[in-house]
Amino acid sequence: MAALTEEQSILKDQASSWVESQLPVQKFRDFRNSNSDGGFDPEAWSAIVEMGWTGILVPENYGGSDLGYLTFGLILEQLGRQLCASPLFASAYVGATAINLGGNEEQKQSWLPKIVDGSEILTLAVDEQSRHNRDQVQTTATATDQGYELNGAKTFVLEGMSATTFVVAAKTDAGDIALFLVPADSAGLSRQGMSTVDSRDYARLTLSGVEVGQGALLGAMQGSQLYGRVLDRASAGIAMEMLGVGCYAFEMTLDYLKTRKQFGKVIGSFQALGHRAAELYSSQEMARSCAEAGVTAIDQGADDEAAMSAISKAKTGEFLFDMSNQLIQIHGGIGMTDEFDAGLYLKRARVLETTYGNQAQHRDRYASLLGF
C-alpha cells in the first residue's frame, strides 16, 4: 500500500464519505431502472465538479490543482466501490491526460479550464472492434489544405453519448497513429448508443468526411508516442477503479461469510471457505500494490511507467475476475438474482477487465516491455 500524504488521505476520506452517502450502489440501480440507455446523474456530476475532482490532473495555471495520478486513482477507487457512473474518468483523467501530454499552449488554454469546470466532456475514441487492440487503427486522417479529413468508425466509446468532444485516434498519411480533437457536433460525425451489460454510456461513432482544422491535432508529442502514453495512463487509472470494485466485492463476501449460517454455524467457520477468503485477501493486497504502483510510477516519471501500467491492469484484472466469480458462488442462489447487488458488480467487472485491454493482453505487453 502506498504511503499517502495528509492531503491524499483527506481527499480519500472525503471521497469515501461522499460516495457512500450521495452515490451508493442503490442510486446506480435506481438510475439503471429508470434510464436503460446509461449516462449519469447531472446533479452528481455538478457536485463532482464543485469538489474539484475534475482538476486533479490539471496544472494550477489552467484552473486545476495538479495533485497527480495517485490522488486521482484514490478517487476512482472510491467511485468503483459503489459503481458510480460519471464522466470523471473519461474526461478529467483520460481527456486531460491527452491535452496535458499532447496539447500546445493554445490547446491547453482552450480545453483544460473547460474540463475543470465540466462544460466540456472529452472522451477517447480508439477501439474499432469488439476486442481492444491498440495497433489495429483503421480510421484515417488525410491532410487537406485546411487541416485533416477523418474517415472511419469507433466502437465502445466511453461516455460516447454524453461527450461534447472526442479525442479520436486515427492513422495519418505518415503511418503514425495520432490524436485529434473532434467536436461531437461536427458535420459527418454520427453516434449511436450501445446497450451493455453494465448499463453505462457507450457509443458507436461513424466518421464520414469529418473535416477538422490544424488545431485539432494534438501534436506537441510525436503521434504514436502520445497515443501509447495516453493508453498506458488510461490503463493505470482504470486499474484503480477496478480495485475499488473488487475490494467492495470482497467486503460483501466477507460480511456474508460472517453472518450466513448453515448447520448451526456461520459458514465462514468452515475451513474450505476460510481458506478461500484468505486467498482472496492475498490477491486483493497484491492487486492494490500493483494498482497503486502503476499510478505512482506516472507521478514519478519512472522509466518503467509503461510496464507498471501494464502489470497494474493485468494483476488487478486477475483479482477482479476471481473475486467477482467468488462473490456470486459464495452467495449461492441469492447472488444470481437481480435484486441482490452481486450481479451488478459482476457485470461491471467484466466490462472493466476488457476496457483498454484484458489481462492476457497486458501480461503480454508487460513481458514484451521487459524484453521477453
DSSP string, 259-291: H-EETTEEGGGSHHHHHHHHHHHHHHHHHHHHH
- Overall pTM surpassing 0.75 (yes/no): yes
Question: What CATH architecture does domain 6-89+97-118 belong to?
Answer: Orthogonal Bundle (1.10)
Q: pLDDT (tens digit, 9 = 90+) per residue, 233-278?
A: 999 999 999 999 999 999 999 987 888 767 777 776 677 778 888 9
Which of 66-75, 223-232, 306-315, 347-356 comes out lowest in average pLDDT?
223-232
Residue 354 Cα distances to 20, 133, 138, 210, 314, angstroms? 26, 11, 20, 29, 10
Q: Please give the residue that has the higher pLDDT: either 166 or 334.
A: 166
Contact 213, 49 (CB under 8 A): no
Under DSSP, is residue 64 helix (H, G, I), strand (E, B) or coil? coil
Q: Where exactly are the structural domains of the chain?
A: 6-89+97-118, 123-216, 223-369
Q: Would you tell me how many other CB atoms lie within 10 Å of the CB of residue 303?
A: 9
Which pLDDT does position 71 carry in this prediction?
98
Mean per-residue pLDDT for 208-232? 92
Of the pLDDT bands very low, low, confident and very high (cuts 50, 70, 90), residue 37 is low
C-alpha cell belonging to residue 123: 472522451
Q: CA-to-CA distance for 355 and 257, rounded, in angstroms?
A: 31
Residue 276 Cα distances to 62, 150, 169, 272, 335, angstroms? 49, 51, 43, 6, 17
Which of 29-43, 201-215, 307-321 comes out lowest in average pLDDT?
29-43
- In this predicted structure, the answer to whether residue 6 has a pLDDT above a threshold of 70 is yes
CB burial string 171-210: b at 16+ within 10 A, e below: bbeeeebbbbbbebebeebebebbeeebbbbbbbbebeeb
Q: Would you tell me how many other CB atoms lie within 10 Å of the CB of residue 36?
A: 11
- In this predicted structure, the answer to whether residue 221 has a pLDDT above a threshold of 80 is no
Strands annotated E in the chain: 122-125, 140-143, 147-158, 165-172, 177-183, 189-194, 202-213, 261-262, 265-266
Which pLDDT does position 269 carry in this prediction?
64
Domain pair 6-89+97-118 / 123-216, same fold:
no
- In this predicted structure, the answer to whether residue 220 has a pLDDT above a threshold of 80 is no
Torsion angle of C-alpha atoms 121, 125, 129, 135, degrees rounded to 10 = -150
CATH number, domain 123-216: 2.40.110.10
C-alpha cell belonging to residue 365: 505487453
Which pLDDT does position 294 carry in this prediction?
98
Across 220-234, 320-334, 348-362, which has the greatest mean pLDDT?
348-362
Of the pLDDT bands very low, low, confident and very high (cuts 50, 70, 90), residue 182 is very high
Which pLDDT does position 36 carry in this prediction?
54
Q: Compute the mean pLDDT over every residue in the chain, rounded to the nearest whole number.
A: 93
Residue 83, Ramachandran bin (φ over 0: left; ψ between -120 and 50: alpha; else beta): left
At the topology level, CATH places domain 223-369 in Butyryl-CoA Dehydrogenase, subunit A; domain 3 (1.20.140)
- In this predicted structure, the answer to whether residue 311 has a pLDDT above a threshold of 60 is yes
Q: CA-to-CA distance for 324 and 342, rounded, in angstroms?
A: 8
DSSP string, 346-366: HHHHHHHHHTTS-HHHHHHHH
Which pLDDT does position 68 carry in this prediction?
97
Of the pLDDT bands very low, low, confident and very high (cuts 50, 70, 90), residue 224 is confident
| Nearest-5° Cα angle at 124, 119 to 125 | 125
Query: Nearest CA to 357 among 123, 199, 129?
Result: 129
Q: pLDDT (tens digit, 9 = 90+) per residue, 58-103?
A: 999 999 999 999 999 999 999 999 999 999 999 999 999 999 999 9
Mean per-residue pLDDT for 30-54? 87
Mean per-residue pLDDT for 215-227? 87
Which pLDDT does position 38 carry in this prediction?
59
Of the pLDDT bands very low, low, confident and very high (cuts 50, 70, 90), residue 121 is very high
Mean per-residue pLDDT for 274-286? 92
Of the pLDDT bands very low, low, confident and very high (cuts 50, 70, 90), residue 33 is confident
Q: pLDDT (tens digit, 9 = 90+) per residue, 141-172?
A: 999 999 999 999 999 999 999 999 999 999 99
